Amino acid sequence: MAVPVTAAERPTRAVSPRHFVRLKLRVLGNNFRGQGWRIALFVVGVLFGLWFAAGGFLALAAPGMAGEPRYALMTAALGGGVLTLGWLLLPLVFFGVDETLDPARFALLPLARRTLVTGLLAAALVSVPAVATALTVTGLVVTSAALGGWPAALVGALGVVAGVLVCVAGARAVTSAFATMLRSRRVRDLAAVLLAVLAALLGPLQLLVLAAVRNADWDRLTGVARVVGWTPFGAPWTAGIDVAQGRTGAAVLKLLIAVATLGVLLLWWSRSLESAMVGAVSAGPAKAPRGAVGGAVAQLFPRAVGWVRRDRFGALVARECRYWWRDARRRANLITVAVVGVFVPVMVNLGGVSFSTEGGAAFGETSANSSPVLVSISMVFVGVLASVTLANQFGFDGSAYAANVVAAVPGRVELRARMAAFSLYVVPILLVVAVVLATVLGRPEWLGVMVGGLFAAYGCGLAINGFISVLGAYSLPETSNPFAMNTGAGIAKSLLTLLSMIASAVAAVPFVVAAALLGDVWLWLAPPVGLAYGAGAALLGAYLAGDALDRRQPELLATVTPRR
């Protein structure tokens, strides 16, 4: 008689990367059911990806079709290096990463770390950015084939595959590592410094490229391309070009560099991935509560907001202040504002740097190339960028927003409190940006124009983003990774960011016009007028968007609540 076999005694099939890919595709299909807006965003993302892939393919394939080996090397090394750098930095400061398969959900499953890493990497390759990148860099295979025949094309294809894997693994490793650091408040300063260093790498690269292009020193640019080609940023992309030019040994070494880089990135990712699965990093022993003076209610208000009224508005301000300081996702956005807010205006106003015939940069005439109008434009950008963080402010709350709905918090009070709490962190950053730029340019008399432009653009941005956060909110994944995004949410974030920045910039245009027409008089009028203009716009936006919030509270809660 046959003995029945229990479920525990049945042989289990080994888990392979294809299981993760099938799981991701199934989750994607389930997320699209009955969600027309998600399907529309996915289609828009595919169209953008195809447009990017077509343009990139033509740019990378053009040197081969034109028979220009020197330009082929420059295009492969510099274009591939920028592409790799974009994969590392853009998820941190703009797009985020797709976390359809949240690693934390696999914590209780008996999966080896190697299986989990390879499976999640395979699932990450099934995405619009990864596919678009793969289609783009096939132009290098065409160039290699045109210049060196099928052996160069074969090595180029191997390099392209390795390069795409390095891009995807690098993006996951960097975001996972920063997510781990940002969960610990003890190392948030270190995370800010590291992110600032990563963003600042773009500055020297920009100056170097501008110097080479303006002077048409192609020999110097070719030398730079050769150096970049031996780094992990350019090695996989230039291997096929080396074979086409008769440097087979160099091509083999570059493929080894790419493989070694991929191994290091996967090892780094696996370490931080294990921490993400375990949970939040401990913040250390809890501090003893403050004295009993004022009672338990007073202890709920941080010292920075001890001045607010002890009413509904004050409670909301206190809560938001704590969230902006303690929530890793929100803190990551504040770091982005601080880094980009200082970096972009300096680079814009230093864009007039002159270059000598030897390719060197002359910084002595920097401030003479700037003007109050250019400074006002850069300050409008910073103010708009600072406010765009609130475009999905209710998405940060997720299902916790139900408490506000149950309490029937008036929409106007809600939005004013959120604006006030966010401004407690952002306004000091904006003032630091203005002081730094005035010091770098050597124009302290322009400080008033800078402050006025910042406040005007920031206030207009608060008003515009109040409406966008109510009408265009989207849910965020329940994960400890502050850079994670749901499928399609990256496109939603990009479109909402673009819409917010354009609308806010248009609302702040009068300040740029005034700087161009009023001359020296505007240096004194800009600060009070900018403060009044920005504060009035923010209050008007909270008043009008608050009515829309009162009508849409249930729908908003359903929108920002993550789906399992």
Q: What was the pLDDT predicted at 281?
A: 42
pLDDT at position 253 is 92
Tell me the whole-structure pTM to 2 decimals.
Answer: 0.56
Residue-wise pLDDT for 9-27, tens only, equals 444 467 777 888 888 888 7
User: Phi and psi for 358 in degrees, rounded to 5?
Assistant: -85, 0
CB 410 within 8 A of CB 457: no
Q: What is the pLDDT of residues 109-135, one digit of tens each?
A: 777 778 888 888 888 888 888 888 899
Structure tokens at 557: 């809660």
* pLDDT on residue 63: 85
- DSSP string for 428-470: HHHHHHHHHHHHHHT-GGGHHHHHHHHHHHHHHHHHHHHHHHH
Q: How far is CA 97 from CA 134, 355, 377, 555, in A?
A: 17, 39, 31, 26
Between residues 482 and 78, the one the model is more confident about: 78
CA atoms within 13 A on the CB side of 296: 0
Using the CB atoms, write b or e for 192-203: b if 16+ within 10 Å: bebbeebbeebe
CA count, 13 A, side-chain hemisphere, 314: 15
Give the SS3 label for residue 354.
strand
User: In angstroms, rounded to a whole number, what is the distance separating the alpha carbons of residues 388 and 391?
Assistant: 5
Per-residue pLDDT reduced to its tens digit, 316-336: 888 888 888 777 677 777 777
> Does the pLDDT value for residue 189 go beyond 70?
no
Place of tokens 């403050």: 290
pLDDT in tens, 507-561: 888 888 887 888 778 788 888 888 999 899 999 999 999 889 988 888 888 888 8
Residue among 423, 421, 500, 414 nearest 465 (CA): 500
pLDDT value at 439 more than 50: yes
| pLDDT at 363 > cutoff 60 | no
Q: Which residues contact 17 (CB under 8 A, 6 or more apart)?
A: 118, 119, 121, 122, 123
The answer to whether 324 touches 330, Cβ cutoff 8 Å, is: yes
How far apart (Å, rounded) are the C-alpha atoms in residues 173 and 177? 6
DSSP string, 82-122: HHHHHHHHHHHHTS-EE-SS-GGGGTTS---HHHHHHHHHH
Give the residue among 108, 481, 111, 113 at the shortest CA–CA distance from 276. Answer: 481
pLDDT of 360 strictly over 50: no
